[in-house]
Amino acid sequence: MKLPATSLLLLAVLLLIHGVQSVRQSVKAPAPVPSGKVPGTKPPVGRKSGHSHLYKMFVFGDSFADNGNLPRWCSSPITRQWHYPYGASSLAASSLRPTGRFSDHLVQPDILATMLNMGRLEGPPARKLTIKNYCDAFGMNFAVGGSGVFEPFLPPLPHKLKLPTLATQIDQFEKLIHDRVVSSWLLDDSIALVAISGNDYTRVANSNRADMVAFVGNVTTELAVNVKRLQDIGIKKILVNNLHPLGCTPWQARPSNYANCTDFPNMGAMIHNNQLLKKVGGMDNVKILDLNTAFYNIIGPHSPGSGSELSKRFKYLIRPCCESSDPDGFCGEWGEDEHDRLYTLCKDPSKHFYWDDVHPTQAGWQAVMDQLKVDIQEFLDVFQLS
């Protein structure tokens, strides 16, 4: 979901007052993509401390991680991911239909799953797509597009749809444990991904400065409370996204014809990340995934010829593959006539970092996660094949 520009502007002014530019130094930058093989002195893949080591993954959050938990309704901003051209790359690979992901194919937890070296090609299945009283041996995905730590401030949704907060998603998880659908052995060597990407800030567009600062604190405090709750339930290791550079999304860059990022929203992300680091960064067995730096390394402003090798994978850094003809429209929108397509679609999504106005392509997610791979595997005690 989009973050109102007025909200971002107010937040950014506060950031300047509170001096948040230091956050880039306080979060460890993602490690570069390894070029060589891991030395053979480390344990083989899938082994840890002399016992079998097979991770179970549970995913919570919003559209960065959702893989099918929203209903299949007529195309709308909140259900567009079930309609063409979403999943266009998977359709080209003979998939029968879009899979409910906000991308041309795979999203963040899918890429993460491949890093566990368990032969997985995608993340655990969506809760809504799982039959009752069953949990896949690899885990389950509870993330729902549009969600946040608080109820989102949104226009009325189709069919009175109510988006679950992060706490509600964890309630769903805990109920499955209580009902023994998720058995105790599934919590052994379990990991969680918490992907919260800024939807909460739609609530504070008209707030004063004091309320704005307090709300940023409330969001990050609630995030920390829910991370601690996952630990108390029995999740062994937890990965938590920080906020990506909001001002570099195509939605924010469109007024400049995708030439420039917008500074103020990026500063807004920085204060969130600074607060998150203070409240979550010191928890045992919790790792903050620095999406902000990983995104910025690719799509941030670079002088000619100085961009990172990762940025050179993409011909278009902040121009989306799927672009609405209306600034207030959405990718996949159609007019009243069945031939009236209200969007344009690129020929090759892999040349674009962004798929639509706010979500990366599969290639974009791969480039982001490639930077984080070494740190993630060290944190999870997983090693690459030699």
* CATH number of the CATH domain containing 313: 3.40.50.1110
The proportion of the chain whose per-residue pLDDT surpasses 90, expressed as a percent, equals: 61
The reply to whether 310 falls in a domain is yes
SS3 15: helix
Answer whether residue 174 is part of any domain: yes
**Does 385 map to a domain?**
no
32 within some domain: no
| Residue 96: per-residue pLDDT | 65
Does the pLDDT value for residue 45 go beyond 50?
Answer: no
Q: State the pLDDT at residue 384.
A: 59
CB 266 within 8 A of CB 248: yes
Q: b/e string for 94-110 if b means 16 or more Cβ within 10 A? A: eeeebbbbbbbbbbbbb
What pLDDT does 24 receive?
Answer: 42
- What total number of domains does the chain contain? 1
The answer to whether position 120 is within a domain reads: yes
Give CA–CA dist 179/27, Å, rounded: 39
In a domain, 72, yes or no: yes
pTM over 0.75? The answer is yes
pLDDT for position 210: 74
The Cα–Cα gap between 100 and 69 comes to: 7
pLDDT tens digit sequence for 219-259: 999 999 999 999 999 999 999 999 999 999 999 999 999 99
Least confident of 151-165, 276-290, 322-336, 356-370: 151-165
Give whole-number Cα distances, 19 to 26, 262, 368, in Å.
Answer: 13, 18, 27
Domain-embedded: residue 43? no
| Containing structural domain, residue 169 | 5-20+50-380
pLDDT band at 118 (very low <50, low <70, confident <90, very high): confident
Residue 27 lies in a domain: no
Residue 180 CA to residue 133 CA, distance in Å, equals 8
- 3-state class (DSSP) for residue 60: strand
- Residue 52 confidence (pLDDT) above 60: no
φ, ψ dihedrals at 23, nearest 5°: -65, -30
Does position 14 have pLDDT exceeding 50, yes or no? no
Query: What residues pair up with 195 in beta bridges, in sequence order?
Result: 61
Of 29-38, 189-198, 310-319, 341-350, which range is least confident?
29-38
DSSP reduced 3-state for 13: helix
C-alpha 261, offset from chain centre: 19
Q: Specify the pairing of strand 343-345 against strand 322-324.
A: antiparallel
> 316-368, pLDDT tens digit by residue?
999 999 999 998 899 999 888 767 899 999 999 999 999 999 999 999 999 99
